[in-house]
């Protein structure tokens, strides 16, 4: 079935689908997908939900992750990813693009684009990657007000509140903020940049809510598996930028090969074939849909004479 012929299920919206997944036994594994093709590949691999990272999307547009990304761009890619893959999508909305009214608009726009959940963080602008130094936080009460506004605006969208407090104000402050955010209406908590198994375990023991772990590369968090995070007490794990990093390295290698050899032959075995690409994007299904509905019709004066009705048999 193609996106053009799918039917939405109003009885089971994306937010409800996502929360059902994180409430199920085990841990929900959520890879990052910065565009629609990446989302299709993640679906093909068997994942049940996907994540749109602000850092990955910004990088794909040639921008740093400093809050430069616009809401229109975020909604465009949200819509494209949801249409392509049809999986519950968690969208990184950074700091909410402003104050409480801005946050409410973000909620409605992302819901209309098909998102299942919105992630909000408690940094000030210009925000930074959670694993870098120099982060600054808004007051906990201001973040709680944003979450309450998001909860008031949402129809089904789930709200994941991220706190960067562990590396700025300390572990106890991160726990306190998380508890406040839950009281304000958050559905799940994302403690960013925890640095040890003990921190993850202690946070889970202090915060009674679905928890999301961020297993990004080259950051402050050691490399834990999804199964380890599950044992720590977490219901979701994301790999937000992994696919972008792998794709970027592969493209860099291709361009280096082209510049050196003037040919792509040396990397053909590392390429997705034409047949594989067409299978992923359902090329033949769209082609069949087109053929089943649309047929070119020539103007009367260019039609085959045999197609013309017999004047003598025409009813009077």
Q: Of 16, 52, 49, give the one whose Cα is nearest residue 32.
A: 52
- The residues, any chain, with a CB within 8 Å of residue 172's CB and separated by 6 or more, are none
Sign of CA pseudo-dihedral 176, 20, 193, 75 = negative
**What is the token pair recorded at 294?**
């649309």
Q: How many domains does the chain have?
A: 2
Q: Which of 225, 241, 257 is the endpoint of a domain?
A: 241
Average pLDDT, the chain: 92
- Domain-embedded: residue 91: yes
Same domain, 265 and 139: no
pLDDT digits (tens, 9 = 90+) for 21-41: 999 999 999 999 999 999 999
> Could you tell me the CATH number of the domain that includes residue 88?
3.20.20.60
pLDDT digits (tens, 9 = 90+) for 248-290: 999 999 999 999 999 999 999 999 999 999 999 999 999 888 8
Q: How far does the chain reach from its first CA to its final CA, in angstroms?
A: 46
pLDDT digits (tens, 9 = 90+) for 201-213: 999 999 999 999 9
- Domain-embedded: residue 219: yes
- Domain-embedded: residue 306: no
Q: Which of 203, 225, 241 is the endpoint of a domain?
A: 241
Determine the structural domain holding residue 39 and report its residue range.
3-241
Report how far residue 291's alpha carbon sits from residue 285's, in angstroms, rounded to the nearest whole number. Answer: 10
| Residue 215, CB-side half-sphere exposure with 13 Å CA sphere | 20
Residue 312 has pLDDT above 90, yes or no: no
Whether the model clears a pTM of 0.85, i.e. scores above it, the answer is yes
Q: Which of 201, 223, 241 is the endpoint of a domain?
A: 241
Which of 255-272 are b and which e, b meaning 16 or more Cβ less than 10 Å from the residue's Cβ? eebeeeeeeeeeeeeeee
Same domain, 225 and 263: no
Hey, how many other C-beta atoms are within 10 angstroms of the C-beta on 185?
A: 17
Q: How remote is the C-alpha of 127 from its chain's centroid?
A: 19
- Domain-embedded: residue 311: no
Main-chain dihedrals φ then ψ at residue 235, nearest 5 degrees: -100, -15
Same domain, 132 and 173: yes
Same domain, 155 and 215: yes
Helical segments of 154-192, H only: 171-184
The pLDDT score that the predictor gives to residue 292 is 85
Helical segments of 8-137, H only: 14-23, 36-44, 54-60, 71-85, 100-113
């Amino acid at each position: 079935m193609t996106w053009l012929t799918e039917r939405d299920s109003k009885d089971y919206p994306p937010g409800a689908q996502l929360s059902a997944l994180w409430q199920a036994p085990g841990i929900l594994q959520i890879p990052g997908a910065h565009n629609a093709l990446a989302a299709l590949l993640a679906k093909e691999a068997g994942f049940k939900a996907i994540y749109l990272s602000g850092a990955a999307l910004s990088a794909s547009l040639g921008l740093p992750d400093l809050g430069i990304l616009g809401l229109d761009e975020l909604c465009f890619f949200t819509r494209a990813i949801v249409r392509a893959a049809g999986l519950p999508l968690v969208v990184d909305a950074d700091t909410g693009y402003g104050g409480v009214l801005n946050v409410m608009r973000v909620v409605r726009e992302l819901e209309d684009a098909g998102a299942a959940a919105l992630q909000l963080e408690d940094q000030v602008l210009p925000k930074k990657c959670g694993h870098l130094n120099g982060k600054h936080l808004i007051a906990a009460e201001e973040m709680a007000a944003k979450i309450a506004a998001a909860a008031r605006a949402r129809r089904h969208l789930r709200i994941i509140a991220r706190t960067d407090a562990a590396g700025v104000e300390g572990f106890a402050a991160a726990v306190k903020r998380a508890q406040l955010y839950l009281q304000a209406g958050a559905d799940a908590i994302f403690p960013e940049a925890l640095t040890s198994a003990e921190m993850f375990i202690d946070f889970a023991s202090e915060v009674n809510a679905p928890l999301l772990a961020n297993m990004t590369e080259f950051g402050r968090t050691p490399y834990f598996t999804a199964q380890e995070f599950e044992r720590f007490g977490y219901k979701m794990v994301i790999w937000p930028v992994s696919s972008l990093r792998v794709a970027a390295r592969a493209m860099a290698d291709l361009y280096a090969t082209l510049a050196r050899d003037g040919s792509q032959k040396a990397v053909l075995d590392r390429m997705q074939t034409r047949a594989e690409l067409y299978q992923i994007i359902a090329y033949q299904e769209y082609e069949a849909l087109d053929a089943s509905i649309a047929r070119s019709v020539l103007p009367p004066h260019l039609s085959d004479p045999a197609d013309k009705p017999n004047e003598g048999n025409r009813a009077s």
